[in-house]
Amino acid sequence: MPKIIQLDETLSNLIAAGEVVENMASVVKELLENSLDAQSQNIQVHLTDYGLKSIEIIDDGEGIDYEELPMAFKRHATSKIRTHHDLHHIASLGFRGEALPSIASVSKLLIESTAGSRNRKLLYRQGNLVEDTEGSHPQGTRIVVEDLFYNTPARLKHLKSEQKELSYIVDYVNKIALAHPSVRITLTHNKKTLLQTTGDGDSRKILLQIYDLEVVKNLLPFKAKNQFFSIQGYLCKPVYTRSTRQHITLLTNHRIVRNQRLLHAVVEGYKTYLPSQKYPIVMMHITVDPLLIDVNIHPQKLEVKFTEESSLLNLVRSTVTQTLENAELIPTVKRKEEASVVQETLTFDRAEERTHVVQETPEKPVEQPTRKLPELNYIGQLAGTYLLFQNQEGFYMVDQHAAAERIRYERYLKAMSERTKAEQTLLIPFELHLSNAEKVAYLEDQEKLETFGLKTMIDESSNVKITGIPSWFHPGYEEIYAEHMIREMLNEKDFTSKEIIDQIAKDLACKHSIKANKHINNAEVNELLKDLDRTVNPYTCPHGRPTIIHFSLTEVETMFKRINP
């Protein structure tokens, strides 16, 4: 018996199913993408028992010709590509030709499709055709997948909980609906509607079904482009965050994509607007020539690679940052609304939508408005920590420590980024003792310290003597600042990188800023508020915590029962 054989088609399909069909969400993804490629305008997805019992997809697309329907269940049979050129100019969502035979090999699958006047219905079990008859479905295609994985029990054991598996489906359908807002998509589970889009092209209406009203009200539209890419979408003000990156929806040419560097660029764009371990809500659509994107690196076509990727990452980072910098981000404190109040609807008026447009050279700083914070009248201090203000819009609280941190952080970041060598010579140098290993690292990178205006030398006892300091060091904190910078240099391989400089600026700002429970006088309050208003981002401290919050006058009067909610 020969050692090398060619696998039969049934076994090949089962192996392919292991790559393509991980769970119920994989089935929904593959079939829904086929419906979209068929130019469907109305697509229904009906689930029974989380999709384990049945997944039904109904569309009104082009359908499959009567004679060609069986061919769709052959491996690598596809209508999407024909030549090598097509593979590098992929515009369709599907193209591998493995989905239908793979799904059919691990389920009981019924398909009926009409292209023109004739309808054909096929029934498959374990990938084998068992019935071929005339069907009754109108124009388009209907597919029913039942008892998924019934012949591969090991796969069933590796599924997550039923609710978790359902959440994967809902998340995917939400995102594909955002990618195709002009298509009406309906998702039901056990006859309960989970999503129903209008197909009118308005992404915000879809976002309103995914998130609550307050999130949608706090979305900031943006649009930008450069030589290779065009991006547009919505990002949410940092008052609403999530604990994972799952709510960053990235779409490329109407395809849901995953790219870790691109995700990181979005988060970087938020910089110090987010608290630690919190992530934004973002929907971003990227338009690019298909020649500049490779979608053929993952069996499920999720992971992608971009040519000219650095250009895209720069565009994304700068666009997110500039959109936030041009927005008013003071969070307004509100009571939890009662269920009856939540029925409020959001009126969409495209003529009034203010989209932040970034020019083709997004790296160029946008001219900042003369004032970001409202005019405020100081009325007192609470618990030695919070500064209290008022104006016609209501009542404001400023965290004096967070505000001072923001001011110092931006000053220090600017000074270190510009690498000014201005320094103050110390009459009495102070010393820092190093171990023998630290001495080796110090001697290697000593010159880097001087680029930040920190002058040092080392003696025979391995003590570092700090003889000169930058002019921006705060009086009284010279030794603390110098030691922190030297320790960072010893601990970090790339001491001069933007990320390390940013972290040092955060650390130093925190060490010196006005602490809680410290009384400051009116002159200091006015100076603090004036300096805060001059910052690029006066709304959060470097760690993403709010510097200022707002209680509207209406909300205050409601709490005192002066008006009805």
| Assigned CATH class of 9-196 | alpha beta
Among the listed ranges 153-162, 328-337, 439-448, 528-537, which one has the minimum average pLDDT value? 328-337
Question: In terms of DSSP bridges, do strands 42-48 and 184-189 run parallel, antiparallel, or are they unpaired?
Answer: parallel
- In the predicted model, what is the mean pLDDT of residues 162-180? 95
Characterize 146-155 residue by residue with b for buried, 16 or more Cβ atoms within 10 angstroms of its Cβ, and e for exposed.
Answer: bebbeebeeb
| Assigned CATH class of 368-565 | alpha beta
Confidence class for position 353, pLDDT limits 50, 70, 90: low
**pLDDT the model gives residue 87:** 43
- Tell me which of 294 and 151 has the higher pLDDT: 151
Three-class secondary structure assignment of 226-261 = CCCEEEEEEEECCCCCECCHHHEEEEECCEECECHH
Domains 203-342 and 368-565 share a fold: no
For residues 278 and 267, what is the distance between their CA atoms, to the nearest angstrom? 9
**Model pLDDT for residues 100-124, shown as the tens digit of each residue:** 888 999 999 999 999 888 899 999 9
Residue 337, pLDDT > 70, answer no
For 26, 141, 226, 386, 448, the CA distances from 42, given in Å and listed in that order, are 20, 11, 34, 54, 61
Residue 351, pLDDT > 60, answer no
The encoded tokens of residue 58 equal 């109904």
**Model pLDDT for residues 457-473, shown as the tens digit of each residue:** 887 777 888 888 988 88
**pLDDT the model gives residue 93:** 61
Architecture of the domain made up of 203-342: 2-Layer Sandwich (3.30)
Burial class (CB in 10 A: 0-12, 13-18, 19+), 164: exposed
**pLDDT the model gives residue 356:** 72
Residue 320, pLDDT > 60, answer yes
**Model pLDDT for residues 15-43, shown as the tens digit of each residue:** 445 456 889 999 999 999 999 999 999 99
Residue 113 and residue 143 in contact, taking contact as beta carbons nearer than 8 Å: no
Which value, to the nearest 10 degrees, does the dihedral of the CA atoms of residues 56, 57, 63, 68 take? -50
**Helix, strand, or coil here: 492?**
coil
Residue 248, pLDDT > 90, answer yes
- Tell me which of 154 and 407 has the higher pLDDT: 407
Helix then strand then coil, % of the chain, to nearest 5: 35, 25, 40
**pLDDT the model gives residue 366:** 47
Residue 7, pLDDT > 80, answer no
| Domain spans in the chain, listed from the N-terminal domain onward | 9-196, 203-342, 368-565
**pLDDT the model gives residue 2:** 60
Among the listed ranges 179-193, 202-216, 344-358, 446-460, which one has the minimum average pLDDT value? 344-358
- Tell me which of 347 and 163 has the higher pLDDT: 163
**192 Cβ contact partners less than 8 Å away, ≥ 6 residues apart:** none
Characterize 328-358 residue by residue with b for buried, 16 or more Cβ atoms within 10 angstroms of its Cβ, and e for exposed.
Answer: ebbbeeeeeeeeeeeeeeeeeeeeeeeebeb
* Average pLDDT, rounded, for the chain: 84
Confidence class for position 433, pLDDT limits 50, 70, 90: confident
Which residues, in sequence order, are bridge partners of residue 114?
119, 140
Burial class (CB in 10 A: 0-12, 13-18, 19+), 445: middle
Residue 258 and residue 250 in contact, taking contact as beta carbons nearer than 8 Å: yes
**pLDDT the model gives residue 89:** 45
**pLDDT the model gives residue 54:** 97
Residue 559, pLDDT > 60, answer yes
- In the predicted model, what is the mean pLDDT of residues 151-177? 91
What sign results for the dihedral spanned by CA atoms 399, 404, 406, 409? Answer: negative
**pLDDT the model gives residue 73:** 87
**pLDDT the model gives residue 340:** 34
Which residues, in sequence order, are bridge partners of residue 548?
398
Confidence class for position 151, pLDDT limits 50, 70, 90: confident
Amino acid 351 reads: A
Residue 134 and residue 116 in contact, taking contact as beta carbons nearer than 8 Å: no
Question: Which of 498, 427, 506 lies closest to 469, judged by CA?
Answer: 427
Confidence class for position 452, pLDDT limits 50, 70, 90: confident
Confidence class for position 354, pLDDT limits 50, 70, 90: low
**pLDDT the model gives residue 217:** 93
- Tell me which of 476 and 298 has the higher pLDDT: 476
- In the predicted model, what is the mean pLDDT of residues 385-406? 94
